[in-house]
Structure 1
Amino acid sequence: MSIGKQHKEAKAKIDRSRAYPIEEAVALVKDAAYAKFDETVEVSIRLGVDPRKADQMVRGAVVLPNGLGKTVRVLVFAKGEKALEARDAGADYVGADDLVEKIQGGWFDFDTAIATPDMMGTVGKIGRLLGPRGLMPNPKVGTVTFEVGRAVSEAKSGKVEYRVEKAGIVHAPVGKASFEVEKLQENVVSLLDALIKAKPATSKGTYLKKICITSTMGPGVVVDIPSLQALVK
């Protein structure tokens, strides 16, 4: 069966004119995932903010209760005891100037970068390389810290960084299509809880405007916001 035909059949399972309760939406996304690989499930949330205003920037990170279903390769810029702490916590790469040189040479075989505050002068040399790839350590999301052991553990267990884009939308992965409905739902609720807590005080009117959930290849499913909000503690 062609990809086009599979996508058509997947779309036919979803009523585009309605918003689904989260449990039903997740079940539909799982059912509509047709790729031969384990598709990533992603949530897109349109927020009632103006990201062009500094006081309305929504950014942060959340550790999903059920992880992301993938192996996260963690790099840590640290020296001395903090380097040992990072290795003990399971960091894949630990170093300082040696890692900076490697990255300057075009190496990017890692998913998350963490740095101790005293290393940021060194890391700043490769900011223009890490920044566009979303790999630059940042204190706002907990990746610039002296608590490197905890930061490594969180990254390995499914920590997701989120940042509102110019259009006011946040995109974030919440697991794999192979996850049980309940586990995906719990991850979505955790993400939403974090976004609600991160609401800027200057944001007026409706904060959560639209929520859509989809898999890598599958069609999007619109989520009923009140039913999802009711699950947030």
Structure 2
Amino acid sequence: MRTHGKQFTTAAKKVDAALSYQARQALELVKSSAFAKFDETVEVAVRLGVDPRHADQVVRGTVVLPAGTGKTVRVLVIAVGEKAREAEEAGADFVGVENLQKIKDGWLDFDVMIATPDQMGQVGQLGRVLGPRGLMPNPKAGTVTMNVGQAVRESKAGKIEFRVDKGGNVHAAIGKVSFGIEALETNFTAFMDQIVRSKPAAAKGVYVKNVSVSSTMGPGVRVDTTPYRG
């Protein structure tokens, strides 16, 4: 049986598990109940009324969080010529096809990989390394593109990718406990708006079933789903 420490138990007492809070109030509770000595990540978990076993009910997408993610994003771009220069000018941390050999040798010190379509033949050979780590470029995520400059800027600015898991849940990090409440609320709203826009046509019944927010170490706080039902 799982047991929680004294700090978690104290933090959990601030939250009424039987209530669903308005988003702003829930985020305020997350901030006030965080107790770790590091700057905890604020996370959102959404339970959707979809069956991911069916391809037409898979929910995935991207969203740029207006207030950023609170972390430094290291961007690798696989491109050549003019597109490589465009990536460098946009602020990419690593640029060039020579980085593919480094990855084969075990280097993975980046958070996002962007590639131009003509380079995906080479990138695809690293699928077993990149795929399980969520680093494989994907057209639907905007990371396989000729517009590498925009892709780099969006990644640096706080673009995140989300995808429903086998249980119908979507998880995402929307900031840090150190963020002001306005920043967290803005990011939460942007994320939830994109979740609603991503509703599959084949989804039936209640789409957004449950929403909760929490910090890395803190208790979950239920959010009222009324604004997001559909």
Normalised to the residue count of structure 1, the TM-score between the two structures is 0.95
Amino acid of the structure 1 residue aligned with 2:212? C
Matched, 1:77 2:78: yes
Listed one character per residue, the Cα deviations across residues 104-139 of structure 1 (whole Å, up to 9, x for unaligned) are: 111110001100011100101101100000000000
- Which residue of 2 is the match for residue 215 of structure 1? 215
Task: Determine the C-alpha separation between the residues in 1 that align with 2:198 and 2:24.
Answer: 24
Decide whether the 8 Å contact of 2:212 with 2:222 is kept in 1.
yes
Task: Determine the C-alpha separation between the residues in 2 that align with 1:229 and 1:176.
Answer: 23
Task: Determine the C-alpha separation between the residues in 2 that align with 1:205 and 1:229.
Answer: 13
- Which residue of 1 is the match for residue 45 of structure 2? 44
Question: How much does 1:4 deviate?
Answer: 1.3
Question: How much does 1:181 deviate?
Answer: 1.0
Task: Determine the C-alpha separation between the residues in 1 that align with 2:87 and 2:124.
Answer: 20
Normalised to the residue count of structure 2, the TM-score between the two structures is 0.96
- Which residue of 2 is the match for residue 145 of structure 1? 145
Task: Determine the C-alpha separation between the residues in 2 that align with 1:15 and 1:61.
Answer: 32
Task: Determine the C-alpha separation between the residues in 2 that align with 1:55 and 1:229.
Answer: 20
Pair 38,171 (structure 1): closer, same or farther in 2 beyond 3 Å: same
- Which residue of 2 is the match for residue 94 of structure 1? 95
Task: Determine the C-alpha separation between the residues in 2 that align with 1:46 and 1:28.
Answer: 20
Question: When the two structures are aligned, how many residues end up with a matched partner?
Answer: 226
Listed one character per residue, the Cα deviations across residues 152-191 of structure 1 (whole Å, up to 9, x for unaligned) are: 0000000010000000000000000011111101101101
- Which residue of 2 is the match for residue 161 of structure 1? 161
Which residues of structure 2 form unaligned runs of 5+? none
Amino acid of the structure 2 residue aligned with 1:14? V
- Which residue of 2 is the match for residue 32 of structure 1? 33
Task: Determine the C-alpha separation between the residues in 2 that align with 1:203 and 1:30.
Answer: 34
Question: How much does 1:49 deviate?
Answer: 0.5
Displaced runs of 4 or more, over 4 A: none
What do you get for the CA RMSD once the two structures are aligned? 1.1
**What SS does the aligned partner of 2:5 have?**
helix
Amino acid of the structure 2 residue aligned with 1:140? K
Q: Counterparts in 2 of 1:165-180, with a 5 A limit?
A: 165-180=165-180
Q: Counterparts in 2 of 1:184-223, with a 5 A limit?
A: 184-223=184-223
Matched, 1:224 2:224: yes
Task: Determine the C-alpha separation between the residues in 1 that align with 2:228 and 2:189.
Answer: 8
Task: Determine the C-alpha separation between the residues in 2 that align with 1:102 and 1:53.
Answer: 37
Amino acid of the structure 1 residue aligned with 2:164? V
Amino acid of the structure 1 residue aligned with 2:81? G
- Which residue of 1 is the match for residue 60 of structure 2? 59
Which residues of structure 1 form unaligned runs of 5+? none
Task: Determine the C-alpha separation between the residues in 2 that align with 1:206 and 1:147.
Answer: 37
